[in-house]
Structure 1
């Protein structure tokens, strides 16, 4: 059988071109399937974006449903040199904090040595350190250790309790020890070398001793000491952090309800809802002036989602001073977006924080408005929920369309193969007819020539 490249040689017809046209015409049957598949894939993508928006909204609703949000406290300081933070164990109140001194680390230096190259120790040498709490620590030193080697041995010892460095005082070199922690107890108070090389005199220089100090302050007239500048639990649930600028100052500390966190959580939830509505709006927008319509126009999943959310937003929450979102200045506008009356919301948070907490969080996970709203979205987001089922259905349709496309494509190829065989037969027939025609013409020409000779 002749191949496509040889079609038309025998007949002189453009059978290859005609076969290509027939192929294009047959493949038009695939376009509706491809379009349906593209629509379903677009739906899957849209469902994914919808799910992401619902997930973000549920996360914001869960934050509003957390009772800890309404128990948060904030600590503010007036004055320089101190910062403060409050945990949920703190209580609202005002405090005057007078800082006499901050906590410092103890320091102590050795007598000087002339050179950093000189070996200072014999085998078995040690350095004994003493601290303000009466504890001691021994650092082992290698034979022939220089001042730098001694420094490195101290710094490599995690239990030494001090950091070591070297200072050149202009006449020689000194080893300087600084306590790793502040406070009287952790402060370095003495050091003694044992096993020094013959002729080496190295020891502590008492004149350089600077004892570690505890922070000293008063809170509402009550004396407080702290080994560190992070003063914890002097006020229950409150942590104070002191810096040198605080010394000699009286600062005002206020611990109060964190109204800003509640409002921030409300606004975050409102923004997530409005963002989801914008996403849905694009998905269900009808095509106008040639523009394509949204991927989920007329989709039942979207309609159900919107109706359930509106139901929760407009339902009453019994048992509290606030029973409707509108009581807090939050309402749906004509476009289906949430709007916040900042003045009304601020007043509610400031005047009735417990009522605001009761409205959003309730007494259990699903009794408040935010809890009910979050539970609704959780059902929708479940693997077997509306969105999951919609995605699964669309994926199943894509798989079915893929099968149809494959079968149709195979049918098209079989049809083209049949045309190819028919064209090959046609090409052969026309070629044979052309040969017969040429032979007959040749015979007629010979007969005419013979008759002409006979008539002379």
Structure 2
């Protein structure tokens, strides 16, 4: 008898459907394992949110832990004649700055020649410029050079000290040479231009020299002369850029209270954002029975406890010792509230104490430093958050292995069912064949008896 290739063919039973139902029933064993995997993956994602909130708070704390924040200054200028830029060396104060004269660069225009592109040099020669503070290296002028060639040689070989161009004054062409540096000492006094011209070159008029001048400013009644319109050192830590002569200006250098205030606000907002994230992750809805991914999580409780302990602590070394002294209070719901009027008063009246409170004498002694250190310990490789993440990752891996083993066992069980069903199908097919044979034989005997 041929073997059965499709279940149910021999028996007439729906063994394939029955096998599928048994497979589905066996696969239900995977559901709780998959749910455990999903639960741990959701925890890992939740830990990621917690880690992100802690990192943002750490960033805000690091900004407050920088002593330079409390030394930063802002500069305002009343007037259009000067701009001011401060450095860390500047000191708060107000300065009256009168710009009486701007620094200018000297210039020289040569005698006129008839055309800019005609040769005016006979033989190689050298062009020399004399300055108020001495001479510069001579400039090589090639035989047959025109006014244009001389211009190009000056621009190429003056080491950036001169800028040459050609002007047409309506009666002829002149070489116009400007010093690139301002101030009286950088003025061009003369040149040997007319002495190097070839015989027969006709010139008209004389050289026109315009001397450069130094800038003159008066700062709080003191005259200051500068060869440049950018003046450093007239006011400690302040660089002045002069824009307009004959102007009166007032420069005010003050502590940058806005930067400090914004830093404190950012810290409070970052903490409250973190608190809101933790609240969402640990929430429990009694009506629906739904719980956040980190509800009851020990690592999250440790994070909250550590931060609460730091923020409730004291800072030594100044009159401002606790958060409430700078206008920050811990609310009943665990968030922080900022009284800006108290903070503004501390910024204006106790800047050194405020700097000591947040930044301390070293990177770990101030309130911001303590918060930064606490978060660093939570997030490092052996910290509570990273340990929790690593634990969930190990459980996901373990559940994955268990899932694979269970899937293998399910397939083995289904194959065993398949073999048993095939054997049943074959047996029933044989029994049906035997039954049919016996039925035929009995029918033949009955027929013989009837005929006899």
Q: Distance in 2 between matches of 1:327 and 1:14?
A: 82
Alignment CA distance shift 1:128-1:204 (3 Å): farther
Report how far residue 257 of structure 1 moved.
2.2
1:424 maps to which of 422, 425, 432: 422
Q: Distance in 2 between matches of 1:201 and 1:3?
A: 124
Taking the TM superposition and a 5 Å limit, the aligned residue runs for 1:300-449 are: 300-449=298-447
Cα shift readout 1:234-272 (whole Å, capped 9, x = no counterpart): 1111112222xx311111112222222221221111111
Counterpart of 2:93 in structure 1 is: 93
> Normalising by the residue count of structure 2, what TM-score does the alignment of the two structures yield?
0.85
Q: Distance in 2 between matches of 1:196 and 1:98?
A: 47
Counterpart of 2:221 in structure 1 is: 221
Counterpart of 2:295 in structure 1 is: 297
Q: Distance in 2 between matches of 1:338 and 1:114?
A: 81
Provide the aligned length of Structure 1 versus Structure 2: 449
Alignment CA distance shift 1:86-1:32 (3 Å): same
Alignment CA distance shift 1:19-1:315 (3 Å): same
Report how far residue 338 of structure 1 moved.
1.0
Q: Distance in 2 between matches of 1:119 and 1:450?
A: 146
User: What is the SS of the residue equivalent to 1:327?
Assistant: helix
Q: Distance in 1 between matches of 2:199 and 2:12?
A: 117
2:22 matches 1:22: yes
RMSD of aligned residue pairs (Cα, Å) = 3.6
Report how far residue 22 of structure 1 moved.
2.1
2:290 matches 1:273: no
More deviation in 34-43 or 438-447?
Answer: 438-447
More deviation in 300-309 or 415-424?
Answer: 415-424
Q: Distance in 1 between matches of 2:147 and 2:437?
A: 119
1:256 maps to which of 237, 254, 257: 254
User: What is the SS of the residue equivalent to 1:297?
Assistant: coil
More deviation in 361-370 or 334-343?
Answer: 361-370
Report how far residue 60 of structure 1 moved.
1.8
User: What is the SS of the residue equivalent to 2:231?
Assistant: strand
Q: Distance in 1 between matches of 2:179 and 2:329?
A: 61
Q: Distance in 1 between matches of 2:286 and 2:173?
A: 86
Checking the alignment, whether the CA contact within 8 Å between 1:5 and 1:16 is kept in structure 2 is: no
Q: Distance in 2 between matches of 1:438 and 1:109?
A: 131
Gap runs ≥5 in structure 2: none
Q: Distance in 2 between matches of 1:317 and 1:437?
A: 99
Taking the TM superposition and a 5 Å limit, the aligned residue runs for 1:109-188 are: 114=115, 131-137=131-137, 159-163=159-163, 177-186=177-186
Cα shift readout 1:109-167 (whole Å, capped 9, x = no counterpart): 66567477x78889967665655543424566788878777766666669333455666
Checking the alignment, whether the CA contact within 8 Å between 2:4 and 2:425 is kept in structure 1 is: no
Counterpart of 1:77 in structure 2 is: 77
Checking the alignment, whether the CA contact within 8 Å between 1:109 and 1:204 is kept in structure 2 is: no
Cα shift readout 1:266-301 (whole Å, capped 9, x = no counterpart): 111111111111121121122465585322111111
Counterpart of 1:59 in structure 2 is: 59
Report how far residue 48 of structure 1 moved.
2.2
Q: Distance in 1 between matches of 2:177 and 2:368?
A: 58
Cα shift readout 1:75-115 (whole Å, capped 9, x = no counterpart): 22111132222222122222110001223344556656747
Cα shift readout 1:2-52 (whole Å, capped 9, x = no counterpart): 999833333333333332222222222122222212222222222222222
Counterpart of 2:207 in structure 1 is: 206
Alignment CA distance shift 1:441-1:186 (3 Å): farther
Checking the alignment, whether the CA contact within 8 Å between 2:121 and 2:145 is kept in structure 1 is: yes
Report how far residue 169 of structure 1 moved.
6.7
Alignment CA distance shift 1:419-1:188 (3 Å): farther
Alignment CA distance shift 1:79-1:16 (3 Å): same
Q: Distance in 1 between matches of 2:171 and 2:443?
A: 133
Alignment CA distance shift 1:11-1:370 (3 Å): same
User: What is the SS of the residue equivalent to 1:364?
Assistant: coil
Report how far residue 65 of structure 1 moved.
2.3
Report how far residue 346 of structure 1 moved.
1.0
Counterpart of 1:230 in structure 2 is: 230
Report how far residue 339 of structure 1 moved.
0.9
Q: Distance in 2 between matches of 1:126 and 1:14?
A: 113
Q: Distance in 2 between matches of 1:251 and 1:5?
A: 103
Q: Distance in 2 between matches of 1:3 and 1:126?
A: 114
Counterpart of 1:7 in structure 2 is: 7
User: What is the SS of the residue equivalent to 1:301?
Assistant: helix
Alignment CA distance shift 1:360-1:422 (3 Å): same
